[in-house]
Amino acid sequence: MSKVLYIKANAKPEGTSRTFKISDKFVEEYRELNPNDEIITLDLYKEGIGFLTEEGISLHRPAPGEGKEHPILKYAYQFAEADKYIIAAPMWNLSIPAILKAYIDYVCVTGITFKYTAEGPVGLCQGKKAVHIVTRGGGYSEGPAAAYEMGDRYLRTVFGFMGITDFTTIAADMIDVIGEDVEAIVENAIKKAQQQAKDF
């Protein structure tokens, strides 16, 4: 049995997020195929994730097992205990929503999700897998605009830093471009998501 952490980062009201429309279908398909797996939904806005304070920064070198119930460190332990990660986050201003970056600051903790060695940093979440489901207003998957895409690139890099190199992206591009069939783009992404869920 696997433990799956479904991380949602979008402030839109329930039922209005195109990102969640795709990611929820992914989760639905995955749940049907893996009924014994535990899926934990973590909606960052409902959690009220804030920016790290001085106290939070001081906690970033905890003793082994320290602070599992702490309002900040609990997220790092939860992250480390998961086997798979589903990140549903749209592109905002060429990157990820700020609340997701704040969450990453919570979970990148020395001794929990990575460690420093004489040879450099080593991720402690190896052998796990992640999928990032993202909607983007323009065409950022390929071509000249791909150089401006920094959100998926950042997530892929920071997850790799924590040892998670099996990282897949499901992107619905061009959804804000006038003349594009947005519904068809989203439906196509849903089909990709449902297919990808079979191998996740």
pLDDT of residue 197: 97
Pairing relationship of beta strands 114-117 and 120-123 according to DSSP bridges: antiparallel
Q: Which pTM was predicted?
A: 0.94
Assigned CATH for 3-197? 3.40.50.360
CA dihedral 185, 98, 83, 1 (to 10 degrees): -70
Residue by residue, pLDDT tens for the chain (200 residues) are: 999 999 999 999 888 999 999 999 999 999 999 999 999 999 999 999 999 887 766 666 666 666 788 888 999 999 999 999 999 999 999 999 999 999 999 999 999 999 999 999 999 999 999 999 999 999 999 989 899 999 999 999 999 999 999 999 999 999 999 999 999 999 999 999 999 999 99
pLDDT of residue 46: 96
Tens of pLDDT along 6-30? 999 999 988 899 999 999 999 999 9
